[in-house]
Amino acid sequence: MKYALVQVSVPHRNVDRAFHYIIPPELKDKLTTGMRVYVPFGNGNRRTEGYILGFSDKSEVDEAKLKSILDIHEDYRILSDKRIALGAWMSKKYYSTFNECLYCIAPKAANQKMFSCVSLNRDNPQLHELIAATKKRSSKQSQVLDLFINDAEIPLSHIKSILDIDNAPINALVKKGILKMTQYRSYRGNYNKSVPAAKPKPDLTEEQEQVIRLIQKENRPVLLHGVTGSGKTEVYLRLIEDVIKTGKQAIVLVPEISLTPQTVERFVSRFGERVSLTHSKMTDGERYDQWTRAAKGEIDIMIGPRSAVFTPFENIGIIIIDEEHESSYKADHSPRYDAREVAMKLAEMYGAKLVLGSATPSIVSYYKTITGEYALGEMKQRVNKSMPKIEICDLRKELASKNYSIFSRALHSAIQDNLQRGKQTILFLNRRGFSTFVSCRKCGYVMTCDHCSVNYTYHRHTNSLVCHYCGKSIPLPARCPQCGSPYIKYFGTGTEKIEQEVMRLFPTARVLRMDMDTTKGKNSHTNILEAFRNHRADILIGTQMIAKGLDFPNVTLVGVIAADLSLNMNDYHSGEITYNLITQVAGRAGRADDPGRVIIQTYNPDHYSIVCAKNNDYFTYFKEEITFRRIMKYPPFSNVFYILMTSDNEELTVKAANTMAAILNKYNSRGRFERLGPAPAVISKISNKYRYRIIIKCEDEERLKAYVLYCVNIFSAIKELKKVSISIALNPNYSI
Ligand code: ADP
Ligand code: ZN
Ligand code: ZN
């Protein structure tokens, strides 16, 4: 074959295809499909990364115009045929370019890190004489030689640090032919923390055994609905054990915030060095190296968030998605892939098992067990047989009886009680900062961000007003910017205020706070959790960072300060999010021998998501939720496409939105697609950009995509509206 077809990694739709390149003679025998190469591209012949998708004897253009491949990046295939097919599938499914999909599937190219080892040059016949001369003459060199009493191969860096020398004496010995230097590949990002010895494997409970049997015999994906603490992780460990015994590999997806040392240790202590993990704080080099280890078969188990679904195992036996209801499994930028769907596709391609586990399955996934697309496995009992007792506390009644504190009397006395018994408490509020609403008492002026249609949140620690959307922060003004009055008032509660109130009301309690503001440092997240685990604090206050996956045996009380926050967010997911949050937070209580108690404060004590969470009644909640969605035509019964138009000129944005609506109207002659809007987006201005949205609903996903993409294309060709950017999202996690 004379030419290679190279998909060039340039992020533009109009070059999202393979181009012909000449294969230079020196690469003729080395190139295969799926290799990563470098090619000259564009007018400047920029050195550009690309992937070989195939070969051809015929060229699309005149041979004289063709350029040659420059070189290869790795001397092995980076994309198997299956991965190339996956990219094509994703690009269609998620209406993104093939290149964008390949960015997910292949690790970003990074240099390979090498290290040098030094050993005696046994091939040299005069070795012994040379050593004897050298030992007499140079003391530095002879010190080095003393390290090589046996046939050791010693890393160069060790020699230098043991003897506290530079390269000179070693180089001299190499030059004389006494020592030789060998290069090895070193892998960045290996898990290298010490791990406690594996505990003996527990005898499985009956529910665990049943579920494992079910998963082993099922060909369909299995949704594992197991209450918090029912032993789902133990089930995963057993399934993985079986899979790797047969020489296959396992991928375990967990939400980034549950990727705590505690979780990782359970896997590493069972499977040792065959486990690797990825996370978002990894450098490109670390990710590249761990990806390479997976591709070379040096590990069998990868644990990580959403992106770990692309781990290049070519013999996948099982994919496990823990906390499958988590919104983080869906990407919120292009390609807007859903790791659950990608996992399903991979499972199909590789004949692998797919297990989706959760105490609070997403409505969409649970519905699939009703239609038969998934099988359902259930674990209804905690391993310790004790579910926490959940109480609802009606905040309206507290107000009526003149309790103006953040804490209801029930929660106040429960905290007091827990402190006295030396037990730990978790207080949950999904809002950071101190006050969420700052206004002037005289004229009513509300402090809002100049760049966004968002109220400032007051942060007491820094005495500043912070916009949680664009991040802008200003010092708290001493006087009202509108009328000059000094009477500034604070409303609303964030975690910072809870912290202050706890310290005021329970002065002896040791308190930790975990939210975005206290976890900016590299290890702060781990440090806070470890401090709490080691009982260096009595009360942990936090946002949803503390809601999931944590297992603290000494926590017997969980307080939810305001269950209404998520209910009031004006989004069709609000019932689901509320049920999930309450159940997950409640699941942190009473995980060991002492029974747990959960107190939920709310102004909506009769809302089904709160009542069902209290009763641990998933099915009733599911029925309420699915009925609402059927009537309102929301997923899983319909698909919702958001079209968002933004620009820095409000008038122009409105004009664009109206134009878009007219186009959508024109091509909807049969009325198949339901349109809502145009209307201002949920947040109508962010960072000085005005935001308008249109929502289109339709049952048929393929039809809906084709229609919207067609209309967006027409819109994009309108010159006067070039300054308006347009973005689209199908069934996003949150209303836009
Ligand atoms: P989940 O993932 O469902 O929340 P875990 O797997 O974390 O539950 O299990 C909860 C606790 O019970 C953990 O401390 C775990 O070590 C323990 N556990 C799990 N299975 C068993 C078992 N069969 N026997 C005894 N303890 C178990
Ligand atoms: Zn004022
Ligand atoms: Zn802002």
Q: Could you read off the pLDDT of 293-343 as tens digits, one per residue?
A: 999 999 999 999 999 999 999 999 999 999 999 999 999 888 999 999 999
Give me the mean pLDDT over the 202-219 stretch. Answer: 96
The DSSP symbol for 44 reads T
Task: Report the C-alpha gap between 601 and 586 in whole angstroms.
Answer: 13
Split at pLDDT 50, 70, 90, the class of 236 is very high
Whose alpha carbon is nearest atom 19 of ligand 1? 231
Weakest mean pLDDT among 108-117, 146-155, 487-496, 618-627: 146-155
Ligand having the closest approach to the CA of 685: 3
For ligand 1, mutation pick of 211, 234, 533 (most atoms within 8 Å of CB): 234
Residues with CB under 6 Å of ligand 1 are: 202-205, 208, 226, 228-234, 383, 551
Structure tokens at 110: 């990074």
Q: Single out the residue of 26, 19, 99, 82 nearest to residue 56, CA to CA.
A: 19
pLDDT at 204 over 90: yes
Residue 112 in tokens: 């390979």
- Helix (H) / strand (E) element for 693: namely strand 689-698
Cβ–Cβ under 8 Å, residues 36 and 112: no
Nearest-ligand number for the alpha carbon of 359: 1
Q: What is the pLDDT of residue 526?
A: 86
Distance CA 325, CA 584 (A): 11
Would you state the pLDDT for residue 514? Answer: 95
Q: Name the residue with the closest Cα to ligand 1, atom 24.
A: 202
Q: How far is the CA of 488 from the centre of ligand 2 (A)?
A: 8
pLDDT value of residue 209 = 97
For residues 630-655, give the mean pLDDT: 95
Helical residues (DSSP H) of 274-408, grouped into ranges: 284-295, 339-350, 363-371, 395-400
Sequence-ordered list of residues with C-beta below 8 angstroms from that of 383, at least 6 positions apart, any chain: 205, 229, 230, 231
* Nearest CA among 618, 699, 627, 734 for reference residue 223: 618
Q: What is the dihedral of CA 279, 281, 286, 287, to 10 degrees?
A: 50
592 alpha carbon – ligand 1 mean position (Å): 10
Mean pLDDT confidence for 417-441: 92
- Nearest ligand for residue 207 CA: 1
Q: Angle of helix 650-666 relative to helix 701-716, nearest 10 degrees? A: 130
Q: Are the CB atoms for 657 and 678 separated by under 8 Å? A: yes
Q: Which ligand is nearest to the CA of 209?
A: 1
Closest residue to atom 25 of ligand 1, CA basis:
202
- What letter does residue 544 receive in the DSSP assignment? G
Ligand showing the shortest atom-to-Cα distance for residue 451 = 3
| pLDDT winner (highest mean) among 102-116, 178-192, 340-354 | 340-354
Ligand sitting nearest the alpha carbon of 687 = 3
**Ligand 1, atom 4, residue with closest C-alpha:** 229
Nearest bound ligand to the CA of residue 453: 3
Amino acid at 309: V
**Cα(478) to centroid(ligand 2), Å:** 11
Q: Per-residue pLDDT averaged across 361-375, rounded?
A: 97
This prediction's pTM: 0.90
Query: Distance between CA atoms of 122 and 597, rounded to whole angstroms?
Result: 71
Taking the CA of residue 226 as reference, the ligand 1 atom at the shortest distance is 3
Report the pLDDT averaged over residues 460-470.
Answer: 91
Ligand number nearest CA of 552 is: 1
* Ligand 1 atom nearest residue 227's Cα: 3
Ligand 1 pocket, mutate which of 205, 233, 259 (most atoms under 8 A from CB): 233
* Residue 675 near residue 635, CB atoms below 8 Å: no
Ligand 1 atom 15: the closest Cα is on which residue? 231
Amino acid 385: pLDDT: 83
656 pLDDT band, cuts 50/70/90, is very high
pLDDT tens readout for residues 567-605? 887 789 999 999 999 999 998 888 777 889 999 999 999
3-state DSSP call for residue 206?
Answer: helix
Distance CA 500, CA 250 (A): 45
Residues linked to residue 689 through DSSP beta bridges, in sequence order? 686
Q: Among the atoms of ligand 1, which is closest to the Cα of residue 199? A: 16
For residue 515, what are the CA distances in angstroms to 422, 496, 614?
24, 9, 25
Atom of ligand 1 nearest to the CA of 205: 23
Q: Which band of pLDDT confidence, cut at 50, 70 and 90, is reported for residue 625? A: very high
SS3 state at 251: strand
Q: Who surrounds ion ligand 3 at CB < 5 A?
A: 449, 451-452, 467, 469-470, 472
Distance 458 CA to ligand 3 centre (A): 13
Task: Return the SS3 of 294.
Answer: helix
Distance 618 CA to ligand 1 centre (A): 21
Strands of the sheet with 46-56, listed across from one edge:
18-22, 3-8, 46-56, 36-41, 71-72
State in Å: Cα 535 to ligand 1 middle: 21
Q: How far is the CA of 197 from the centre of ligand 1 (A)?
A: 17
| Cα torsion angle, 446, 451, 454, 456, sign | negative
Q: What is the pLDDT of residue 56?
A: 93
Question: Closest Cα to atom 20, ligand 1: which residue?
Answer: 231
Ligand 2 centroid, distance to 479 Cα (angstroms): 8
How many A from CA of 441 to the centre of ligand 2?
A: 7
Ligand 1, atom 17, residue with closest C-alpha: 231
> Residue written as tokens 């016949």?
125
CA of 476 to the centre of ligand 2 (A): 14
Q: State in Å: Cα 611 to ligand 1 middle.
A: 27
Nearest atom in ligand 1 to the alpha carbon of residue 235 is: 6
**pLDDT grade, residue 145 (50/70/90)?**
confident
Q: What is the pLDDT of residues 90-137, one digit of tens each?
A: 999 999 999 999 999 998 888 888 899 999 988 888 888 888 888 887
- Closest atom of ligand 1 to 228 CA is 4
Report how far ligand 1's centroid is from the alpha carbon of 204 (Å). Answer: 9
- Residue 702 clears pLDDT 80, i.e. is over it: yes
Q: Please give the distance, rounded to the nearest whole angstrom, from the Cα atom of residue 207 to the centre of ligand 1.
A: 12
Atom of ligand 1 nearest to the CA of 549: 4
Ligand 1 atom closest to residue 203's alpha carbon, by position in its atom list = 23
Quote the ligand 3 centre to 688 CA distance (angstroms): 8
